[in-house]
Every structure is written in C-alpha cells, then in structure tokens.
Amino acid sequence: MTTWTAGDIVDQQGRTFVVTGANSGLGAEATKALVKAGAKVIMACRDVDKGRAVAAPLGERAEVRRLDLADLASIREFAGSIDSFDVLVNNAGVMAVPLYRTADGFEMQIGTNHLGHFALTGLLLDKISDRVVTMSSAMHNIGSIDLDDLNWERRPYKRWPAYGQSKLANLLFTYELQRRLAAAGSKVKALASHPGYAATNLQTHTESVTGRIMALATPVIAQSAEMGTLPMLYAATVPDAVGGSYLGPSSLFETRGYPKVVKSSRKSHDEAVAQQLWSLSEQLTNVNYSFGT
C-alpha cells in the first residue's frame, strides 16, 4: 500500500460512482481518475457550471447533476433521480466558515458535511451495491459532539470547533453505518478517508485571517490535490478494502504521502454517542434508514 497511486486502480468498466463536490478540488481529481479507470461518474455538484467545465474533457462517462447538500429538498430531488449504482463518495464539504445556516436551519458545517451526507446516504442506500466512502479530516481530533446543541443555537459559535465537530460526525457516522450494515447482513460496506494537507480551494473559503494565511502557505507546504485524493480513491476502489477502515496519508503525521489505514480518535469510536447522533440525525433530516427491512 505504501506506493499505491491512481495508476493502480483496478479496471472500473461497468461501475458507476456518485461523487459529491465533484466540481473542484479532491472531488474533481477523483472524478478524473475514476473516469480514466473506466468508470461512469455522476458528478453531484452545487455549481453545475463548474462541474460541466470539469466534465467536458472527460467524455460521456462524466455526468453532471445538481445537488446542494445544504438543502434537504435538493438532496431528495437528486436522490430521486438516481438509479442503482456501485459506490457513493461523500466528498463535498465546507471548512471553518462564518456562522451561516442551511436552507433547513442547520449550522452550515454540520449541515453540509454531516447531515446533508447522512440524508443523501440514507435516501440512496438501497441503490448502492458496493460501498459508501465518506471524507473526514485529521481535524476530527479537535471535535466534540454536542448532542444538545448540534447546530450551535445556544453556544457562542466557533468556526474551527464547529468544523471539528462535523468531521468527527463523519467518522461516527461511518463506523455506525458499518456496524448496522454488518448486523443486517448487507454486502455493502462503509469506509472513511482523509486527504492530509492537500492543495485545494477549501482553505480559501473560510473568510478569515487564518484562511488568508493558509492560502499563502498551501502552495508551499501542501501536497497536490492528486495526492490528497489517493486515500479516498483507495477506499472507493480497492476490492479488499475492509469495511470500517479509515484511510489517510502515510507520512509526516498523516499530512502527506501514499494512502494507508490510519487510526482515528477515541471519541470517533464511542458507540453510545454514535447511536445518539444517528437518532438525532434521523430526526433532524426526517430520513430513516431501513437496511432492507
């Protein structure tokens, strides 16, 4: 695994992927690699014009559809347009933005990064044949789940703890999804990944001094988006990747390098919190998972 690259992706002909946030950054790079490997990719994009610009040189196996993860109505509309497919890649996200709210009143980071993908996965689960891959972050280590104020309605809002909460939620969701799939006897598996410190436009959208500093530092110290997408691609395509695994870069404290299985925080493995977050997420999104029952 230490030198695995996109060139090692096994033949993906006949397989279909749904990739959220495919109009830029890691999602765009993943789309390019998957199409090159023979897959069809449904690019789920909030900005369809940017998505079409990415898709244009890739040919007919890259298809752009609109999806706004900050709007449950958009998620339901998108999910209703999808037929059966193989792999869902929950890649889209926002990072450390000011206090904004989604169309449904959720804090933007937990609403987009976790609740939007939770709803999308639940609505699509019975159409998925292989696996669900969800993008987390090393910043999950600073996160804590506040089940009494998940949407920052009573606490003073802090953008980085809010981001950490959303990325911790991604891991709690992935591990709980894997447990529930296994308990139901499903062949579908759930995995998570993180990109390390990769050069994408995510750092430039924080609308903060930190964001401006990161924008200056990223070209100097970050690894390329192509390298940053490798853990996600490994999780999405390697046939014997194990359900419940977490993939990240192998070098420099997981900031860069080739993909490997990595560890996540003790909080991410708290099954009681995971179950409570799951129940709360179902209540907030009004999306209930059936697992074939």
Running DSSP on this structure, what letter comes out for residue 11? Answer: P
What token pair was written down for 82? 């999808």
What is the DSSP-derived secondary structure letter of residue 15?
-
AA letter at 291: F
**Does the active-site annotation cover 163?**
yes
- Edge to edge, the sheet with strand 256-261 lists 62-66, 40-45, 16-20, 85-90, 128-135, 189-193, 246-251, 256-261
In the beta sheet, which residues pair with residue 107?
101
Give the residue among 122, 141, 76, 138 at the shortest CA–CA distance from 103: 76
Q: Which of 100, 157, 163, 289 is catalytic?
A: 163
CB of 41 within 8 A of CB of 35? yes
d(CA 285, CA 272) in angstroms, rounded, equals 20
Q: How many CB atoms lie within 10 A of CB 66?
A: 15
**256-261 and 246-251 strand pairing:** antiparallel
> Within 10 Å of residue 246's Cβ, how many Cβ atoms?
21
List, in order, residues 6 or more apart from 40 with CB less than 8 Å away.
15, 16, 17, 61, 62, 63
Q: How many residues does the chain have?
A: 293
Q: CA-to-CA distance for 193 and 133, rounded, in angstroms?
A: 7
- Decide if 122 contacts 79 (C-beta within 8 A): no
Q: Catalogue the active-site residues.
A: 163
